[in-house]
Structure 1
């Protein structure tokens, strides 16, 4: 009962914070702290949203741009997880694999994903493949490092007890290491989804003719700031919804997290 009341209080606090933020935004607009072309009022942004939903912009509907961006994110992010988790497990469990891959990982990790765009465009054109590859390249280091951290963080006592009880290496991996690493993998996924959106928007700003990043860039060139703000808000909402989806999956896959 107490937890339920606490949840309602937290949600109410979030709603109040959002209302206050919009109210401050409206007041700043009324006082003309910034020119209307630089900071449209909330009502102007709302009208831009209605226009995008009813007529679209630049020959594209808002839902088309949302859909294509979500598909790109889904494929690239899923590819990063499917590639990064096995690599991370292998690096954490096998010193030879670690020594072979780690130099490349440390080389790629600090390079901004934006730097890869010219190469990917030259190599693969401006189709879907370079955008998906950019998401994968930008996100996979986060997944690998999170997976390695989870394996390394497995309590030594659990491993000792399992070996004392006669567990095989396969059983130790299945019943000790994997449950220990899953929380770190989901944490890495939650961080990685933000990185994935950053990579996608960067790619769509430069080499796309559809998608939310393209919408923001195209509207910005025409000084349609209200539409730019709508695009930014939609990107933020979609990213937040994906992060919430990962939380839901995590609560089902790792129900013991926070209780042990």
Structure 2
């Protein structure tokens, strides 16, 4: 070990830091190239200026919205409202979906009861539920949270079941040989083995949650980022629409990163990405 350090070979932690920095620089380079291409297409006049505003025009629209808001709402309020709706619906889907998935994977009766309902709900697009939820619950926060939950929970349940089924049978057999009870096997072997798949389902589910939220805010809301995009689109304010899309993408990506960091902390044996 001393010889390797003396030879100047970087330590594993240092190599990971360097790899992470290289990844950040590559991401920044890709974004810069995309912006340059966008600017070039805008300057070439491939599309009318109102249909494809330049990056400068979009930046100016963003600054204007930050200062004065849009449609009677401040940008910060729209962001906070949308994030609140996402957190409520997504956390609810995780808190319900993970236990249900665990029960379905361990109990055939529970599986036979829930699986038909799950397979019925899963292919139905979120927009189809909006009229019913508006009629039943109005246009408050409850129908939006329910829509996010209904759209996200199948992903969480299926991911949890997949994680449980991926548990190596050899581990369970060895644990039984050593005298472990069913509760101990579940707590020490099955659940840790399922955690990586559960976090993968959560990372997929956060994107589904944003899709459901934007769909709800396009039709049944007077605030939020989805409402901002729809309201600006009706007025042909394409620069504002792009601002809203970019903000949704950035916040969604940030939430995915939070789940990824949480996964690296809770499931360290899976490795770091």
TM above 0.5: yes
2:176 corresponds to which residue?
A: 163
Distance 1:137 1:178 in 2: 24
Number of matched pairs: 259
Residue 231 of structure 1 deviates from its aligned partner by 0.1
Q: CA RMSD in A?
A: 0.8
Distance 1:86 1:75 in 2: 17
Residue 247 of structure 1 deviates from its aligned partner by 0.6
1:62-99, CA deviations, whole angstroms, 9 ceiling, x for partnerless residues? 00000000000000000000000010000000011000
Q: Where does the alignment leave 5 or more consecutive residues of structure 2 unmatched?
A: 1-13
List aligned pairs for 1:21-32, cutoff 5 A.
21-32=34-45
2:61 corresponds to which residue?
A: 48
1:147 aligns with 2:155: no
Given candidates 240, 252, 260, the residue that maps to 1:239 is 252
Given candidates 84, 88, 113, the residue that maps to 1:75 is 88
Residue 5 of structure 1 deviates from its aligned partner by 2.0
Bigger CA drift: 1-10 or 193-202?
Answer: 1-10
Distance 1:128 1:5 in 2: 44
Residue 2 of structure 1 deviates from its aligned partner by 2.6
1:104 aligns with 2:117: yes
SS at match of 1:219: helix
SS at match of 1:35: coil
2:216 corresponds to which residue?
A: 203
Distance 1:96 1:2 in 2: 50
List aligned pairs for 1:78-227, cutoff 5 A.
78-227=91-240
SS at match of 1:256: helix
2:5 corresponds to which residue?
A: none
1:60 corresponds to which residue?
A: 73
Distance 2:78 2:271 in 1: 38
1:149-172, CA deviations, whole angstroms, 9 ceiling, x for partnerless residues? 001110000000010000001100
Contact (CA 8 Å) 2:264, 2:271: kept in 1 or not? no
Q: TM-score, normalised by structure 2?
A: 0.94
2:9 corresponds to which residue?
A: none
Residue 104 of structure 1 deviates from its aligned partner by 0.4
Residue 235 of structure 1 deviates from its aligned partner by 0.2
Residue 7 of structure 1 deviates from its aligned partner by 1.8
Larger-Rg structure: 2
Distance 2:45 2:244 in 1: 23
Distance 2:16 2:192 in 1: 26
Distance 1:245 1:122 in 2: 35
Distance 2:217 2:67 in 1: 23
